Amino acid sequence: MQNRDMQTAEAPDLRYPVGRYRPPETITEAQRREWIETLASAPAKFRMAVAGLRAEQLDTPYRPGGWTIRQVIHHVPDSHMNSYMRFRLALTEDEPTIKPYHENLWAELPDAKSSPIEPSLELLAALHDRWVTLLRAMTAEQFQRKFRHPEIGLINLEWTLGLYDWHCRHHLAHIENLKARMGW
């Protein structure tokens, strides 16, 4: 698949284990369906990836200077809630300006650094249930609707869907790669 970057024979990139987000030049309906299925299956994959991990494992950074697995698990629904709201705004307003957030600062808040992960896993499942229902009902024209990011400019929902397909795979790879390196 075009946007799923392959790792080279060199050392793996711990920060971007699936590469950076690079959407295909042309996004097809089949591509959108595949991306939606990534979102549909992501909550179960994240739950499976962290099943049985002890507190000290959850508090292990996936790379030097990176977030812990616990922070990653809390980050994913934080990020996806923001995206879900951006979809809803773009579908109901004409090119609304969204509010960005500082994900690195959110990851340093006490709930992200030390609280149990189960509520975030449950939140992710419920959120994706709603989001996927919305995505599956959207028309090709609706995927062309846009929102304005103050730092990036106009972004359409189709591009954003691809970004969140990547985002799921990106953070899942952080967890899975760490587990493999540590022999967990």
pLDDT surpassing 60 at residue 7:
no
Q: What is the pLDDT of residue 9?
A: 41
Higher pLDDT pick, 28 / 9: 28
Residue pLDDT, tens place only, 121-162: 999 999 999 999 999 999 999 999 999 999 999 999 999 999
Average pLDDT, the chain: 94
Where are the domains positioned within the chain? 29-182
Q: Identify the CA nearest to 59 among candidates 15, 12, 115.
A: 115
- pLDDT given at position 67: 98
Over residues 102-120, mean pLDDT: 97
Check pLDDT > 70 for residue 4: no
Q: Is residue 117 a contact partner of residue 73, using CB atoms and an 8 Å limit?
A: yes
> Mean pLDDT over residues 6-29, rounded?
81
Q: Name the amino acid, one letter, at 86.
A: R
Residue 2 has pLDDT above 80, yes or no: no
The Cα 21–Cα 24 span in angstroms is: 10
Give the pLDDT mean for 32-60: 98
- The SS3 call for residue 65 is coil
Domain 29-182 has CATH 1.20.120.450: yes
In this prediction, residue 55 has a pLDDT band, given cuts at 50, 70 and 90, of very high
Which letter, b or e, does each residue of 137-175 get, where b requires 16 or more Cβ atoms within 10 Å of its Cβ? ebeeebbebbbeeeeeeebebbebbbbbbbbbbbbbbbb
* Percent of the chain's residues with pLDDT above 70: 94
Residue 49 has a pLDDT of 98
pLDDT of the residue at 3: 38
If DSSP codes are grouped into helix, strand and coil, which group holds residue 68? Answer: strand
Task: Give the gyration radius of the chain's Cα atoms.
Answer: 17
Higher-confidence position of 9 and 176:
176
H helix or E strand, kind and range, residue 149? strand 146-149
The whole-number pLDDT of residue 11 equals: 55
Q: What are phi and psi of 85, to 5 degrees?
A: -65, -35
Calpha distance 121→110 (Å, rounded): 17
pLDDT digits (tens, 9 = 90+) for 78-88: 999 999 999 99
* Beta strands 153-156 and 146-149, pairing class: antiparallel
